[in-house]
Structure 1
Amino acid sequence: MRKTLAIAAFATGTAMFAGTPASAQEMPTVEQTYRDIEATFGTVPTHFKAYPKSAVAGAWAMTKGLEIKGDNALEPRVKALINLAVAAQIPCRYCTWFETRMARNHGASEEEIAEAVAQAAYVRHWSTVLNGLQVNFETFKTEFGGE
Structure 2
Amino acid sequence: MRKTFAIAAITAATLMGAVSFAAAQELPSVEDTYAEIEATFGVVPSHVKSYPKSAVPGAWAMTKGLLMDESNALEPKVKSLINLAVAAQIPCQYCTWLETKMAKAQGATDEEVAEAVAQAAYVRHWSTVIHGMQIDLETFKTEFGGE
Tell me the TM-score normalized by structure 1. Answer: 0.82
Query: What's the CA shift string for 1:68-115, capped at 9, x where partnerless?
Result: 222211001000000000000000001100010011111111111000
Letter in 1 for 2:144: F
Please state which structure has a larger fraction of its residues in helix: 2
What residue ranges of structure 2 are gaps of 5+ in the alignment? 1-22
Provide the residue aligned with 1:89 in structure 2.
Answer: 89
Provide the residue aligned with 1:134 in structure 2.
Answer: 134
Using the alignment, how far apart are the partners of 1:98 and 1:86 within structure 2?
Answer: 12
What residue ranges of structure 1 are gaps of 5+ in the alignment? 1-22
Letter in 1 for 2:85: A
Using the alignment, how far apart are the partners of 1:64 and 1:102 within structure 2?
Answer: 15
Provide the residue aligned with 1:58 in structure 2.
Answer: 58
Using the alignment, how far apart are the partners of 2:78 and 2:43 within structure 1?
Answer: 26
SS in 2 for 1:73: coil
Using the alignment, how far apart are the partners of 2:106 and 2:65 within structure 1?
Answer: 18
Asked which structure has the greater RCO (Cα within 8 Å, sep 6+), the reply is 1
Letter in 2 for 1:27: L
Query: What's the CA shift string for 1:32-55, capped at 9, x where partnerless?
Result: 111111111111111110100110
- Figure out how many residues of one structure are paired with residues of the other and give that number: 125
- Sequence identity percentage: 74
